[in-house]
Amino acid sequence: YQWRFVTEENDGQVQYEYAEEFAKRLEEKSDGQITMDVYEFGGLGSEVDQVEQLQSGAVEFAIVSPGFTGTMVEEGQIFALQFLLPDDQEVTHELLNTSEALNEDLAALYEENNIKPLSFWTEGAMQWTGNRELTEPADFEGFKMRTQDSPLIQKSYKAYGADPSVMSWGELYSGLQTGTVDGQENPIFFIADASFHEVQDYMTISNHNTYVAMTTVNPSFYNDLPDDIKEIIDETVEEMRDVGFELQDDLNNELLSEIEENEENPTEVTKLTEEQRDAFRELAIPQRDFYKENAGDQAGEILDKLESEIEELEGE
């Protein structure tokens, strides 16, 4: 077998490193029967193009950020809801691994759209960068916020007063540099590795959301595979849960200093207090009702179930 695995990131970044390790394990387990070409971001188009390639079977495997499927699987916009997933990344990791709301209910909706999620996993807590300091909602007034392709991500920033627009990350460095957009959100490792801090004067440690990615496969391709090959894939997906978590955890920890210590292009890093986070949380929570009412038929059930799964885990 010769398969393609496309990622939304580059060599050295979490998704690519994950996919390389995934490919290596499949090759080993299958005694060389399976080989995989892993693609960095950009070679096959934008993030949205990559989703289409997975759906058509032009690539067999892809890492997809739900933020790029917001208009297709509306319920997948659950990940746009800020301050919903547990702040403690270990707890979020456990939630993503075990949630029935995500791994069964939401996954079935993706499958109806020819995308089979094999796992949901965290790339770390997200932070804001900007050409101005962002510590209270009023700072977002008129702020040109770059977002992924999801109406609910946009709506969440409009609730802070921002003026959001959709952009691929391939255009983001120059967008920030030229002022087409004023700021963006991402995990620390990505901000540092994509060098966004070079063209942003401020970073806010807001931990306002978790960056969730999905390991996905084309469903008809997967369903037609012999059982022993499916088993190798499933086993690798399971092993990769902790490997992926360690990858993001290490990179997010290591790369903060790169942003803080860049003397040529200094970036002022501010960590929000809990009171400051509360002011944002207050505006973010009503988006949950909006999600339930407007993000597809199953949004209400999925969010209710996920919230009770969170409660159960956080109560432990």
Burial class (CB in 10 A: 0-12, 13-18, 19+), 270: middle
Residue 216 in the binding site for ligand 6CS (CB under 6 A): no
Q: Which is nearer to ligand 6CS, 160 or 211 (CB)?
A: 211
Q: Which of 203, 184, 183 is nearest to 266 (CA)?
A: 203
DSSP code at position 42: B
Q: How many residues bind ligand 6CS (CB under 6 A)?
A: 11
Q: Which of 187, 206, 212, 277 binds ligand 6CS (CB under 6 A)?
A: 187
The two tokens of residue 38 are: 């892993």
Contact between 7 and 16 under an 8 Å Cβ cutoff? The reply is: yes
Question: Amino acid letter at 89?
Answer: Q
Please report whether residue 117 would count as binding ligand 6CS according to CB under 6 A.
no
Which range, of 84-92, 182-190, 199-207, 300-308, touches ligand 6CS by CB under 6 A? 182-190
Q: How far is the CB of 111 from ligand 6CS (least distance, A)?
A: 22
What span, in angstroms and rounded, lies between the C-alpha atoms of 308 and 16?
33
- Residue 148 lies near ligand 6CS (rule: CB under 6 A): yes
Angle of helix 89-98 versus helix 299-314 axis, rounded to 10: 130
CB of 32 vs ligand 6CS, minimal distance in Å: 30
Quote the least distance from Cβ 13 to ligand 6CS, whole Å.
7
CA–CA gap between residue 103 and residue 238 (Å, rounded): 13
Stretch touching ligand 6CS by CB under 6 A, among 69-77, 186-194, 248-256, 260-268: 186-194
Binding interface with ligand 6CS (CB under 6 A): 8-9, 47, 65, 123, 148, 169, 186-187, 190, 211
